[in-house]
A and B are shown apart, each in its own frame.
Chain A
Amino acid sequence: MSDVHASLRSPLVTGDKTISDVTRDICAPMDRKPTALWWSAFGLSLTALIVGVAAVWYQIATGIGTWGLNKTVGWAFDITNFVFWVGIGHAGTLISAVLFLFRQKWRTAVNRSAEAMTLFAVMCAGIFPLIHMGRPWLAFWMMPYPNTRGPLWVNFKSPLLWDVFAISTYLAISAVFWYVGLLPDLATIRDRSEPGWRKRITSILCLGWNGSARTWLRYETVYLLLAGLATPLVFSVHTIVSMDFATAVIPGWHTTIFPPYFVAGAIFSGLAMVLTLMIIARKVMQLEDYITMTHIDRMCKLMMSMGCIVGLAYGTEFFMAFYSGNGYEQFVFKNRALGPFAWAYWTMVSCNVLIPQLLWSRKLRSTLPVVFVIVILVNVGMWFERFVIIVTSLHRDFLPSSWASYAPTSIEIATFVGSFGLFFTCFLIFCRIAPVIAIAEIKGAAHLKKRPPAESITEEKAA
Chain B
Amino acid sequence: MQQRVITVVLLIGLCFGLITLGAGVSSWRLPDNEQGYAPKQPIDYSHRLHAGELGIDCMFCHSAADKSRHAGIPSSDVCMKCHKVVTSSFDVLQDEMNKADEEKRKPKQIVSDELRKLYDTLALDETLQPQRGATAKSIPWVRVHNLPDHVHFDHRAHVAAEVTCQKCHGPVESMQRMEQYESLTMGWCVNCHQESTKTGINGKSVDAKTDCAVCHY
Residues on A lying within 8 angstroms of B by beta carbon are: 147-152
Contacts and interface: CB of A to CB of B under 8 A. Distances in A.
A438 B183 CA distance: 57
A148 B189 CA distance: 10
Interface in B27-71: 30, 33
Contacts of B187: 147-150
Given A149-B186, A150-B188, A150-B194, 8 more contacts: A147-B187, A148-B187, A149-B187, A150-B186, A150-B189, A150-B190, A150-B210, A152-B186
Contacts of A147: 187
A148 B183 CA distance: 10
Contacts of B194: 150
B166 interface: no
Nearest to B32: A148
A152 B191 CA distance: 12
Nearest to B30: A148
Interface string B160-194: 00000000000000000000000101111111001
A135 to B, nearest CB: 13
B88 to A, nearest CB: 45
B183 to A, nearest CB: 8
Contacts of B33: 148
Nearest to B183: A148
Nearest to B185: A148
A422 B208 CA distance: 52
B143 to A, nearest CB: 21
A152 B187 CA distance: 8
Interface of B: 30, 33, 183, 185-191, 194, 210
A152 B186 CA distance: 9
13 contacts: A148-B33, A148-B183, A148-B185, A148-B186, A148-B187, A149-B185, A149-B186, A149-B187, A149-B190, A150-B186, A150-B191, A150-B194, A151-B190
Nearest to A152: B186
A152 B183 CA distance: 17
A125 B115 CA distance: 66
Contacts of B191: 150
Nearest to A147: B187
A197 to B, nearest CB: 37
A147 B30 CA distance: 10
Contacts of B183: 148
A237 to B, nearest CB: 32
B176 to A, nearest CB: 29
B62 to A, nearest CB: 27
Contacts of A151: 190, 210
A151 B210 CA distance: 9
B81 to A, nearest CB: 41
For A147, A149, A150, the residue with the greatest tally of chain B CB atoms inside 10 Å of its CB is A150
Contacts of B210: 150-151
Contacts of A150: 186-191, 194, 210
A149 B32 CA distance: 13
Contacts of B190: 149-151
Contacts of B185: 148-149
Contacts of A148: 30, 33, 183, 185-188
A193 to B, nearest CB: 45
A151 B211 CA distance: 11
A150 B195 CA distance: 12
A192 to B, nearest CB: 50
A28 to B, nearest CB: 53
A39 to B, nearest CB: 46
Nearest to A150: B190
A111 B203 CA distance: 71
Contacts of B30: 148
Contacts of A152: 186
A147 B194 CA distance: 17
Closest 3 CB pairs of A and B: A150-B190, A150-B187, A149-B186
Nearest to B29: A148
A406 B190 CA distance: 43
A352 B187 CA distance: 52
Contacts of A149: 185-187, 190
A150 B183 CA distance: 13
A174 B190 CA distance: 41
Contacts of B188: 148, 150
